[in-house]
Homo-oligomer: A and B are copies of this chain.
Amino acid sequence: MQTLVIGLGSMGFGAAVSCVRANIQTAGFDVNPDALERFKAEGGQPIHSLNACQNIDCVLIFVVNAAQAESVLFDSNLLAGVNPNALVINCVTLAPSKAVDIANKVQAQGFRYIDAPVSGGAAKALEGRMSIMASGAPDAMADAKPVFDAISEHVFELGDKPGGGSQMKLINQLLAGVHIAAAAEAMNLAASLDMDLHQVIDVISKCAGSSWMFENRAPHIADGDYTPLSSVNIFVKDLGIVTDEASGNDVVTPLSETALALYRQASEAGLGGQDDSAVVKVLAQQSNVTLPGSNT
């Protein structure tokens, strides 16, 4: 199965390398030449234009957002080089309604579509251990199995219609984005009280106030280390999708709105490329709190 991975960022690179490792014939495309070089060094087959592809059986899309996904699919000659009935597996986080739109357009051209947003972070991606929230027709899901096996340790099968995967990702990102901001709010308050921040993490991790994100991100704040695992700008995007999709259905999401405002303030303050936990710096600045690692 000739596979093409489009977008060799942190998640796409891990997926592409995992496919190579599983002996799947894997081409990779990225606009960044350094990413192509890194992929070649791992045994992958770099391609320099989406207009020159041939005989692709499976396209895995790992670009940043819906607009880029639509661009690579519909503004290039990519689909002319893709075999009839090929699989298009879209791993981009996008609105469920957008996933349905894209699926309809892809299927109208004679291809099969799987809505397959992922999670797990760059380290797990590189080990072929991401999680996939997938929905699509049973035959497409069956044919995607070798690729899913190569790149993931969990595949959540969420029905036979595109949109199901993106709905679950939407719910996950709502919670993840609010929980990171809540962890930041808690750590900022703890810092204002001169509490031992590492002790806070030790205790809260054993209590009912804990979350996956608290346990993962609060140490970044206690250590003052904002090297990005996932960036502030990811949540500007993803909580924007949450609040847009919700408000489009007249559904209220006050906590997501509040958290999104914090990520936007962080981004506007020049912190967009830092770790998402850097949202705490907005709170600290507004509260005159000195955090570990800060110079003020």
Contact = CB atoms under 8 A, between A and B. Distances in A.
A203 B255 contact: no
Nearest to A261: B254
Interface size range on A against B: 35 or more
A236 to B, nearest CB: 16
A14 interface: no
Given A133-B203, A154-B206, A186-B171, A211 B251 contact: no
Contact of A171 (B156, B195, B251, B289): B195
A210 interface: yes
Contacts of A181: 255
Nearest to A96: B193
Contacts of A119: 207-208
Contacts of A203: 133, 156, 158, 168, 172
Contacts of A193: 96, 167, 170, 249
A72 interface: no
B204 A208 contact: no
A257 B182 CA distance: 11
A253 B189 contact: yes
Interface in A71-102: 96
A214 interface: yes
